[in-house]
Copies of this chain bind each other. A is one copy, B any other.
Amino acid sequence: MRITIADIAQLIEGELIGSGKMEITGCAGLKEAKEGDISFLANAKYEPLAKESKASAIIVPRQISLAGKTIIRVDQPSLAFSKVISHFLKDTPPLIHAGIHPTAVIAQDAKIASQVSIGAYVVIEPKATVGEGTKIYAHSYVGHGTRIGSNCLIYPHVMLRENISVGNKVIIHSGTVIGSDGYGYVTIGSKHIKIPQVGTVAIEDDVEIGANVTIDRARFDKTVIGEGTKIDNLVHIAHNVTIGKHCLIIAQVGISGSTDIGKNVILAGQAGIVGHLTIGDGAVVAAQSGLSKSIKAGAQVFGTPAQPLRQAFKTNAYIQRLDHYVELIHDLKKRIEELEKKVK
């Protein structure tokens, strides 16, 4: 996990300004970077951020200079940085042997690609398929007819129920349950009668799903997690929810049934989303918010019930000054009483 800055410059075919001997141990955004990290500046307008960054080296556009900083100039900093990250990832040794552990129980009619790693006590049910390069760690369960693409990483103790589809390069962390029944009942008198949940879940390519997440299968049709979306730990996604591409769903968020979420949406930690809503592309729901109405593309909301961000901040400021306003009202009341005495 150590590489000199000169080697990185060579890897990304950039122009190095500074000493090439420095060792780089990680990569991070400008704000988060620590000593030893390499970072990147994609847009000249963030130059002040780059100057304050603790990164030991920064990949920058061709025209940029950062006095006193070690930089590598390239044509496309984002692309170059992505190559560096891939380089760091490549160095992580696989912790699972190639091949199928003798204790794995794999149905005869499951279709397993030739280059896979399947750990101890994995269970793969009939008609399931596992693609090339996919690693499934110990104790995971792949249900009847479930299809897992290529180059996926399924950590120990993952549970995929029947007829789920998982794309390529998907990462699923431990304890996550995909395809459990949606929460659907018809109430007859005081009793709740179960509505069969016979749909499925589709996880598209490049999705990453954290630990102990739950994603319910659709009643009919399917619950969808769009390409490149990243889901943090302990998130709940109800039946028939559709999440677009490249969303960020932070820890402990809950999304109720049939809500339709656009692409590049951010749902911050512990936010709760009511069912049957539409959330437009690029919208942001702040932490702990309770969203009970649909919001448009680009909207940013906060609070329970959620308000536009700017209005929510104003409202919070008023709330925290309520003591002042109450005092003011009582003062005005006294002055009116004074006036009333004088004016008869």
Contacts and interface: CB of A to CB of B under 8 A. Distances in A.
B269 A272 contact: yes
Interface string A215-228: 01001100000001
A269 to B, nearest CB: 5
Nearest to A175: B177
A44 to B, nearest CB: 16
A318 B314 contact: no
A111 interface: no
Contact of A319 (B180, B315, B332): B315
Report copies per complex: 3
Contact of A81 (B188, B196, B304): B188
Question: Could you tell me the dominant secondary structure of chain A's interface residues?
Answer: loop
Interface stretch (A14-22, A246-254, A293-301): A246-254
A190 interface: yes
Contacts of A322: 315, 318-319
Interface of A: 1, 25-29, 34, 40, 42, 78-79, 81-82, 85, 88-89, 92, 95, 101, 103, 105, 119-121, 123, 125, 137-139, 141, 143-144, 155-157, 159, 161-162, 171, 173-177, 180-181, 183-186, 188-196, 198, 208, 210-212, 214, 216, 219-220, 228, 230, 232-234, 236, 238, 245-246, 248, 250-252, 254, 256, 263-264, 269-270, 272, 274, 287-288, 290, 292, 303-305, 307, 311, 314-316, 318-320, 322-323, 325-326, 328-329, 332-333, 335-336, 339-340, 342-343
Most chain B beta-carbon neighbours within 10 Å: one of A173, A189, A238 = A173
A270 B53 CA distance: 34
Nearest to A312: B320
5 contacts: A28-B195, A92-B198, A216-B233, A270-B290, A335-B336
Nearest to A29: B186
A62 to B, nearest CB: 18
Given A79-B188, A141-B156, A143-B156, 12 more contacts: A26-B198, A34-B220, A157-B177, A161-B174, A171-B181, A174-B177, A192-B228, A234-B234, A236-B252, A315-B320, A328-B329, A328-B333
